[in-house]
Structure 1
Amino acid sequence: MRAAHRLATLLLALAAPLAAAAAPAPYVMPSQWMAALTEARLAPGYAGLGERVEALGAALQATCAGRPAALAAARVRWREAQLALRALSPLPFGPVLETRVLRRIDFWPTRPAQIERSIAQYAQSPDDTARIGLSARGLPAIEYLLFDAGRAPLADDPAACRYAAWLAQDAAAALADTATGWPAWRAALAEADPEREARLIGDGINILIGSTEVLRLKYLDKPLRPRSGPAETDAWRSATARDGLLAYFGGLRAGLQGGEGWPGLTAVMRGRGLLVLADRVDVRLDAVAAALADLPGDLGAEAARPAAENLMTELGRLQRLLAEDVADAMKVTVGFGESDGD
């Protein structure tokens, strides 16, 4: 009897991990994925970005007023706002996509000539800002004014300082407009019908494919292979380029893998039985993270080229996996272009 009892206990112990391994992953609807991303990252992230841009605006106004140490504070506030923006920019969902706010606050590459012309235009007609184009607005334009070594410091250039302060005010207003859309977006997710669910998964996968492409092409390949002149990566003037790439990838990874206690795209995949494919996405993300960790601070230096090339290779592998295997398995038509995420 004791031997039989021990045998039964042993069989139960052996069967337990097998049963756990065979247990299906919970089914996650696309609307649940988007709702979790909204609550965990997007709504609080954009609220925080708005606060940082407002703090930047206050520091710029203090700079224009001639307050000591205000310029240094404005540079710190800009870096904080920039990294908050980069963590959100690969996830243009909901009201962000509807309002196109990223086009208004994140036009890059920077166009200094247009910014300089807009400074003069704003000085002449500060109440007529409708004709100031997107290429002369946003955080990248403020970076140029705050950090470019070839122009006078803002504290010594009143016209440029007032324009920079207005740029921060303009960006804060755009973010405030976007913030009002989150409750309606979240409520609509709770009532998604099958047609909306299919649209959400299609749009979600396409946006993440596009954001992977933007990271590879826009922020690495194109600036590191200029047609002429030195490499000028995103936020190079403020020496924030590498940190910006890390923040961007962190946002992209959150969309793909979720976070502690909330699902990403891989959870949606596992709920549909695509366990091996979801594991492959995890492996590719780990490879990109490792390649990012190898990047030196100065991305434009010749010594950085091998690490940058390796990172672009790993991003290309991730992008192909998403655009081919994942999209096919999830029955999604790929139609996202690189410029659509700007």
Structure 2
Amino acid sequence: MRSTRIALLAAVLIGTAPVGAAPSAADTATRIAAPILAPAQWLASLGEQRLAPGYAALAAQAGQLKARIDAYCQAPDAAGLAAARTAWRTAHTRLRALTPLPFGPALDTRILRRIDFWPTRPPQIEAAIAQYANSPGDTARIGLSARGLPALEYLLFGDAPLADAKRCAYARWMAADLDEALAPLPAAWRNWLASLPTDDDADEGPRLTDGVNILIGSVETLRLKYLDKALGEGRRAEFDAWRSANTRAGLTRYWQSLRAGLLGDGETRGLSDVMLGRGLIRLTAALETRCAAVDQAIDTLPDPLDREAAVPAVTSLIEALGRLQRLLAEDIADALRVSVGFGESDGD
């Protein structure tokens, strides 16, 4: 049903009239065919199909990463280090699939802030290594900038990867801390999904406002934090996951999940389904067009993503994301009567 409706939109609407033009007979038929989707139903679909299983997979992968680091530190060899690095790359890619959709328990627990502090700050990580070696029982004073997956990347892929007992001990603690932080998330997602209304929703307006603002904020985070600032610094080190050569994989997975939040993906419902249920036919077509431009720009990113080769492709992607963000923050927010203020997503 959904694919048929989208095909009709593409055939009838794209490029035929401005966003604000009066609907045609075909538009009206499509509007009637589009069921109303409440914000709670949209969020439930994202949670059930993508976020709850995604956090369960990430929690399981954190356990695998911990086991690989433990094994290497107990008997260091090249194969053990390679296994730990592979486990890290898998965990990072799974994390980036969750980063742009900080809904529900992810927002309530601030889990992304705890496990994904980036850009990495090597001086603070080095200080934490020394502090942990002197006082391994005093971890409360170790800040977020010296924890989480980016800090573990520095230890696994940096100039001295797990080179001595102190670095191994700290890496093992960080992996255990990551595992502990993620362990409650699968149950938290089950409880949150059970709490969503299935009929009348008194909080429909706030839910829609929060959802749209999170998506706008995530477009801004991808555009500014992960791309524009990194490119502006003129140092490859400023790109996410450059040490592990996982930059492009992470950026691609981030966008795929953000796109699912906007347009849906398979069984997942997107913001576009909410819009179609409210008769926003032309705006939905415009959203699809802007997302397609980002798709194309993402596909042209080089791998590895070094600055000299990446400038034209990254610039094109930044511009495509800027156009998408303006559509969301201006036309779509206005049509949905949503007040824009990025709020809680704020780049976590």
TM above 0.5, yes or no, is yes
**Native 8 Å contact 2:49 2:267 kept in 1:** no
Alignment of 1:65-76 (within 5 A): 65-68=74-77, 69-76=79-86
The alpha-carbon deviation at position 23 of structure 1 amounts to 3.8
Is there any run of 5+ residues in structure 1 with no aligned partner, and where? Answer: 1-16
Q: Structure 2: which amino acid aligns with 1:290?
A: Q
Deviations 1:44-103 (A, max 9, x none): 000000111110110000111015421110000000000000010000000100000001
Superposition deviation, residue 177 in structure 1: 2.4
Deviation at 1:252, TM superposition (A): 0.2
Q: For residues 18 and 317 of structure 1, do their structure 2 counterparts lie closer, same or farther at Cα, with a shift above 3 Å needed? A: closer
Deviations 1:263-288, CA, capped at 9 Å, x for gaps: 11000000000011011111111100
Whole-angstrom CA distance in 2 between matches of 1:105 and 1:66: 27
Whole-Å Cα distance in 1 between the matches of residues 278 and 303 of structure 2? Answer: 41
Larger radius of gyration: 1
Could you tell me which of 290, 299, 320 is aligned with 2:296? Answer: 290
Which residue of the other structure, out of 44, 51, 54, is the alignment partner of 1:45? 54
CA offsets per residue over residues 80-129 of structure 1, 9 Å max, x none?
00000001000000010000000110000000000011011111221211
Aligned counterpart for 1:280 among listed residues 267, 286, 298? 286
Question: Aligned letter for 1:145?
Answer: L
> Are residues 1:240 and 2:242 paired?
no
> Which residue pairs with 1:311 in the alignment?
317
**TM-aligned CA distance change 1:332 to 1:81, over 3 Å:** same
- The question of 1:170 aligning with 2:170 is answered no
Give the drift of 1:218: 0.3
Q: Which moved more, 1:252-261 or 1:29-38?
A: 252-261
Q: CA RMSD in A?
A: 1.9
Residues 278 and 188 of structure 1, relative CA distance in 2, 3 Å threshold: same
Q: TM-score, normalised by structure 1?
A: 0.90
1:74 partner amino acid: A
1:203 paired to 2:213: no
Identity over aligned pairs, percent: 57
Name the count of aligned residue pairs: 322
Could you say if the C-alpha distance between residues 133 and 21 of structure 1 is closer, same or farther in structure 2, counting changes exceeding 3 Å? closer
In structure 2, the residue matched to 1:26 is 35
Equivalent in the alignment of 2:334: 328
Name the SS for the 2:326 alignment partner. Answer: helix
- Runs of 4+ in structure 1 displaced over 6 angstroms? 17-20
Cα deviation for residue 21 of structure 1 reads 4.6
Unmatched runs of 5 consecutive residues or more in structure 2 = 1-25
CA distance in 2 between counterparts of 1:247 and 1:41 reads 12
Counterpart CA distance in 1 for 2:289 and 2:169 is 48
Q: In the TM superposition, what is the alpha-carbon distance from 1:301 to its structure 2 partner?
A: 2.7
The question of whether the paired residues in 2 share the 8 Å contact of 1:225 and 1:231 is answered with: no
CA distance in 1, matches of 2:235, 2:94: 29
C-alpha contact 1:61 1:162 (8 A) present in aligned 2: no
TM-score by length of 2: 0.88
Partner residue in 2 for 1:271: 277
